[in-house]
Structure formats: C-alpha cells, structure tokens
Amino acid sequence: MFSGKIIDGDFVGEYVKALLHSFSKSHLVNLVCYDDVEERLSINKNLNIFKTSCVIKGNNLFNWAMIMNTELGRAGREVYECYGFDIIHANDWLTIPVALSMARFAEKPLILSMHSTEKERGFGIDYSGLIHEIEGMGLHNASHILVDNEVTMRHVINDFNIEREKITLLTPFRDKWDERILELYKKLAKVGI
C-alpha cells in the first residue's frame, strides 16, 4: 500500500491505519509512505512499514510530490524484492505516480482509493490542473477504484469519464468495509489470499 505521511486524526491516515490493522491479521501487508525521517519498521510478522523521506523540498506541493514518488519507488522495489506482493493499493493523487509505475513493473493490479478529487477540493492552486491530470492518469490505469461517497463518485464518472462498473462506493469504517475491500483484492489478484 502506498500513502502520503500517516498523521493521526487525519482522515486518510486513519483510513490507511484501519486497513493495515485489519488486513495484517491474516495477510502480509507492506506500507510505503512518506515521512520526515527514513525508517523501516516491522510492526509484527505481517506488517512492515517503509517510511521514506524526500531529499528535495520543492517549490510547490506538486513538484515535491513528484520527487517524493521517485523516493517511494526505491522502497517499492525493496518490498518487491524482499516480500513480493499480489496487489497494490494507492491513496489519492499523491502516490498515483509510484503506484502506477510499480503496478506496471510488477504486473500487478492497482486499486486506487480516491478520497476526493482536486475538482471537489475547489481547484484552488495554480498547479491544480496538473493534479487533475495525474488523477486522470491514475483513474484510467487503475484496475479498480474505491470512493468514499456519492459526490466523489460522480466527479470520477463525470470529470474523468470512468465507467461505473470500475468503481466501488464504500463508506469507510462502516458495514465491514475493510472485509469488502479484502474481497475485492482477492477478486482482482485472482489468488486465494
């Protein structure tokens, strides 16, 4: 799984943490995420965390994120060599570039959780157009898309022309959402995990 920095209390942070907690009860899960400090953590026999820092500050969030993705790629390759994986799960535009590259390299399915789109967030910055295009790149190339609510789903369908069948709407933290994601993993990876 790829994500930005895991921050307690932050929605995406809690989403990722909940899935890690749930999946690692029965499956090997590797999280590759950004952090200020480079660190490799083995939480238990089923959960490894690869915290990756970025050597460049960047002149804006977009440019920083693109370089951060190259750094995440190093950790992604480490996971591939040390543990292998059957499926890749990315969260939002921030980790789409590395997730797409790893999916192509390893020839594994990519699930993309779109928690919101840049258009929903209001297109408030001058590089919003680039974020929108990266979102499009991810949405069109992902094997399957998860959305948290109706609004995001409508944006994904209407703004990016994504077919409805490729999207699953799951409200996080409710109705065994984690188990349903695991079922989706099984279906896409076509392995008996």
Partner 1 sequence: MKILMFTWEFPPYKVGGIASHCYDLSKALVRMGHDVHILTYGDKEEEDYDAGITIHRVSSTQSAPDIVGWSMYLNQRFEKKAIELNKIERFDVIHIHDWMAVPAGAGLKKILKKPLVFTLHSTERGRAGINTPVSKMINDLEWYGTYEADQIITVGKDFCEEVKTIFSVPEEKIHYIPNGVDIKKFDNAKYTTRREWYAGDWEKMILFVGRLTYQKGVDYLLDAIPKVLNEYRDAKFVFVGDGGGLEHYRGKAWSLGLKEKTYFTGYVPDDVLISLYKVADLTIAPSIYEPFGIVALEAAAANKATVGSYTGGLKETIINEYTGLHTIPANSNSIADQLLRVLWDDNWCRWMGRNGRKMVEKNFKWDRIARWTTGVYGKAMGLWD
Query: For the residues of 106-119, what is the DSSP string, one character each?
Result: HT--EEEEES--TT
- Structural contact between residues 115 and 91, judged by C-beta atoms closer than 8 angstroms: yes
Closest CA to 76 of 97, 92, 46, 45: 97
| Closest to partner 1 by CB, 61 or 193 | 61
State the nearest-atom distance from the C-beta of 140 to partner 1, in Å: 12
Q: Using CB under 8 A as the criterion, which residues of the chain lie in contact with partner 1 when the complex forms?
A: 55-60, 62-63, 66-67, 69-71, 73-74, 76-77, 97-98, 100-102, 104-105, 126-127, 129-130, 132-134, 137
Two structure tokens written together for 10: 């932050």
State the nearest-atom distance from the C-beta of 138 to partner 1, in Å: 10
| Closest to partner 1 by CB, 61 or 151 | 61
| Bridge partners, residue 31, by sequence | 49
State the nearest-atom distance from the C-beta of 34 to partner 1, in Å: 15
State the nearest-atom distance from the C-beta of 180 to partner 1, in Å: 30
